């Protein structure tokens, strides 16, 4: 069978009205994943108390991040094979089913496993939606549609912490999973209708399931070593050293698989592209710090600052909301100035500086000062996300768009998973999570969070150094698949 017989006929160009309609539908589809990123944090101490297992609290987050990390590139290739619409609908359905399992979980381990099921869908929600946007809108035109993404993320950022804290303090923490069902139903119905108008660009691919397994195994073993080291077992004990050795072995097998697979999970040729490599690495490092803060700051607010679950959710709002301001600034810079990298570089420097007072005076700063500092951290780091995403998409060919976009999501999630693991080793190892469960005294925990804040500042500085190495290439103009 020749290529013309196996490929679908080319679709006519989309009018601007069609593009706007499709993107609006995609925002609804992305919303459950965006909400899930912010709603869990304020409820963690309450979950730990009710399930009686504070030591395994990080697994609620890392189980989701690890599985969604491996799923994101698989969704990219599956959407190339079967089409964006069918894979986005599948992701929404799996995410909803996983949410039901999370709400019904009787213990911490079963909740972590249910979060892994939820992540099988969550890994495709944002990556496939971002790929669709890249399909229909060229890089230089994407700033025009930034308002849609900004509104969606702002809404999720406002609702997530507030709802998570309110559910934990006044209702029941399982409500934060039940609320996903009506949202997913609306996303399914709207997306199903909107994406029927999407141009089709299916291509045959092979899925690297062994690579995905090695990735999850290496990350999970590494996380388990960090979780057990210093708490359940001494750092130099045989179980902890054995876990680190097993994680290293899985990492070696992953590297060998990436070199030998016909279509590896992480495409090595793409990583030889300077923009792809540095852009993905910078956003991964930034995400590692940002997600760690969103997960562990509620524990800081409740143990060190003495806030309730509801108050800690509200206290998290500056971190979540101000990210949007940075993202809008970074997105607009790409459409207006040639040196568009200056905005996220300055933003990361600001974020690192804003972390230093938290490191120096974790117990003495006023709550108002902390909120201002978190707003600066969020605004500075937020500029990294649109600049790196559009830069990477701009640096690859159209037939690589799905894979490159999934690679961005992949490394963002991987960075977040590793960041949560490292921060969890600091916080949980220092007894903060157990104190949240036991309602113990807070003053002695200030030093624990001091080092977590220092690690965050170092992470932002590393992201800044990586971003400085990224090339600034001119943005491509209008696409043949797009008409006025």
pLDDT at 51: 83
How far is the C-alpha of 404 from the C-alpha of 402, rounded, in Å? 6
How far is the C-alpha of 7 from the C-alpha of 111, rounded, in Å? 43
Within 13 Å, how many C-alpha atoms sit on residue 342's CB side? 7
Looking at per-residue confidence, does 418 or 231 come out higher? 418
Q: Give CA 69 to chain center in angstroms.
A: 9
Looking at per-residue confidence, does 233 or 210 come out higher? 210
pLDDT at 449: 87
How far is the C-alpha of 430 from the C-alpha of 468, rounded, in Å? 34
Positive or negative, the Cα torsion across 227, 229, 233, 239? Answer: positive
Q: Which residues contact 89 (CB under 8 A, 6 or more apart)?
A: 188, 191, 192
Q: SS3 of 229, please?
A: strand
Point out which residues pair with 482 in neighbouring strands. 14
Using CB atoms within 10 Å of the CB of residue 430, give its burial: 0 to 12 exposed, 13 to 18 middle, 19+ buried.
buried
Q: Is the pLDDT of residue 144 over 70?
A: no
Q: Mean pLDDT, to the nearest integer, of 212-230?
A: 77
Q: SS3 of 251, please?
A: helix
Looking at per-residue confidence, does 465 or 299 come out higher? 465
Q: Is the pLDDT of residue 47 over 90?
A: no
pLDDT at 370: 93
204 — pLDDT class (breaks 50, 70, 90): low
Rg (CA), the chain: 21
Angle between helices 342-360 and 367-382 (to 10 degrees): 150
Cβ atoms within 10 A of the Cβ of 458, count?
A: 15
The domain ranges of the chain are 12-208+261-468, 209-260
Tens-place pLDDT, residues 57-115 = 777 877 887 787 777 777 877 777 777 888 888 999 999 999 999 999 888 889 989 99
Q: Is the pLDDT of residue 434 over 90?
A: no
Point out which residues pair with 229 in neighbouring strands. 233
Angle between helices 274-303 and 16-39 (to 10 degrees): 40
Using CB atoms within 10 Å of the CB of residue 2, give its burial: 0 to 12 exposed, 13 to 18 middle, 19+ buried.
exposed
Angle between helices 274-303 and 342-360 (to 10 degrees): 30
Cβ atoms within 10 A of the Cβ of 475, count?
A: 19
Q: Mean pLDDT, to the nearest integer, of 315-320?
A: 84
Cβ atoms within 10 A of the Cβ of 233, count?
A: 16
- Range 12-208+261-468 classified under CATH 1.20.1250.20: yes
Q: SS3 of 225, please?
A: helix
Most confident of 52-56, 145-149, 334-338, 420-424: 420-424
Q: Mean pLDDT, to the nearest integer, of 274-301?
A: 87
How far is the C-alpha of 459 from the C-alpha of 20, rounded, in Å? 37
How far is the C-alpha of 287 from the C-alpha of 293, rounded, in Å? 10
444 — pLDDT class (breaks 50, 70, 90): low
Nearest CA among 355, 359, 328 for reference residue 344: 328
Q: Is the pLDDT of residue 123 over 70?
A: yes
pLDDT at 198: 66
Query: CA-CA distances (angstroms) from residue 319 to 176, 291, 363, 390?
Result: 20, 10, 19, 23
Q: Is the pLDDT of residue 211 over 90?
A: no
Tens-place pLDDT, residues 245-285 = 998 999 899 889 888 888 787 777 777 888 888 988 898 89
Nearest CA among 186, 58, 158, 161 for reference residue 115: 58
| Of 99-108, 146-155, 467-476, the least confident | 146-155
How far is the C-alpha of 275 from the C-alpha of 388, rounded, in Å? 8
Cβ atoms within 10 A of the Cβ of 252, count?
A: 12
Looking at per-residue confidence, does 238 or 435 come out higher? 238
| Of 15-29, 116-130, 340-354, 394-408, the least confident | 394-408
Q: Mean pLDDT, to the nearest integer, of 211-235?
A: 76
Give the angle subtended at the CA of 80 by the CAs of 75 and 82, to the nearest 5°: 85
Phi and psi torsions of 233, nearest 5° = -135, 155
Task: Name the CA dihedral angle for 153, 154, 157, 160, rounded to a multiple of 10 degrees.
Answer: -90
Q: Is the pLDDT of residue 12 over 70?
A: no
Give the angle subtended at the CA of 292 by the CAs of 91 and 462, to the nearest 5°: 105
How far is the C-alpha of 105 from the C-alpha of 117, rounded, in Å? 12
pLDDT at 97: 94
Length of the chain, in residues: 484
Q: Is the pLDDT of residue 208 over 60?
A: yes
How far is the C-alpha of 228 from the C-alpha of 234, rounded, in Å? 8
pLDDT at 140: 63
How far is the C-alpha of 70 from the C-alpha of 462, rounded, in Å? 24
């Amino acid at each position: 069978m020749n290529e013309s017989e196996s490929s679908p006929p080319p679709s006519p160009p989309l009018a601007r009205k069609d593009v706007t309609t499709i993107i609006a539908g995609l925002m609804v589809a992305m919303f459950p994943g965006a909400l899930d990123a912010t709603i869990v944090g304020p409820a963690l101490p309450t979950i730990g108390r009710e399930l009686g297992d504070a030591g395994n609290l990080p697994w609620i987050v890392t189980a989701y991040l690890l599985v969604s990390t491996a799923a994101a590139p698989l969704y990219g290739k599956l959407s190339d094979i079967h089409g964006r619409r069918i894979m986005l609908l599948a992701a929404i359905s799996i995410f909803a089913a996983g949410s039901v399992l999370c709400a019904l979980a009787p213990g911490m381990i079963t909740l972590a496993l249910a979060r892994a099921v939820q992540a099988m869908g969550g890994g495709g929600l944002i990556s496939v939606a971002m790929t669709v946007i890249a399909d229909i809108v060229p890089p230089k035109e994407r700033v025009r549609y930034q308002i849609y993404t900004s509104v969606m993320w702002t809404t999720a950022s406002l609702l997530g912490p507030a709802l998570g804290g309110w559910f934990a303090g006044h209702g029941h923490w399982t409500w934060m999973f039940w609320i996903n069902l009506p949202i997913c139903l609306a996303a399914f119905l709207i997306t199903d209708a909107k994406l029927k108008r999407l141009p089709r660009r299916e291509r045959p691919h092979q899925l690297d399931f062994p690579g995905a397994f090695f990735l999850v195994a290496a990350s999970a073993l590494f996380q388990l070593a960090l979780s057990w080291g210093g708490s359940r077992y001494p750092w130099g004990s045989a179980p902890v050293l054995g876990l680190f050795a097993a994680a290293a072995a899985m990492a070696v097998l992953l590297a060998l698989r990436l070199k030998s697979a016909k279509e590896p999970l992480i495409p090595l040729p793409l990583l030889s592209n300077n923009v792809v490599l540095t852009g993905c690495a910078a956003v991964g490092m930034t995400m590692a710090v940002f997600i760690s803060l969103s997960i562990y700051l509620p524990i800081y607010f409740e143990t060190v600052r003495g806030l309730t679950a509801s108050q800690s959710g509200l206290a998290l709002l500056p971190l979540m909301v101000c990210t949007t301001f940075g993202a809008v600034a970074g997105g607009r810079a790409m459409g207006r100035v040639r040196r568009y990298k200056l905005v996220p570089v300055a933003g990361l420097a600001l974020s690192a500086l804003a972390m230093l007072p938290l490191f120096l005076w974790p117990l003495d700063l006023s709550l108002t000062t902390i909120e201002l500092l978190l707003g600066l951290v969020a605004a500075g780091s937020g500029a990294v996300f649109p600049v790196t995403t559009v830069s990477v998409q701009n640096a690859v060919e159209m037939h690589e768009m799905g894979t490159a976009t999934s690679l961005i999501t992949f490394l963002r999630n991987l960075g977040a998973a590793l960041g949560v693991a490292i921060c969890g080793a600091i916080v949980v190892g220092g007894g903060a999570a157990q104190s949240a469960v036991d309602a113990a005294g807070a003053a002695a925990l200030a030093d624990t969070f001091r080092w977590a804040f220092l690690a965050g500042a170092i992470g932002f500085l590393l992201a800044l150094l990586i971003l400085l190495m990224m090339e600034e290439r001119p943005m491509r103009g209008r696409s043949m698949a797009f008409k006025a």
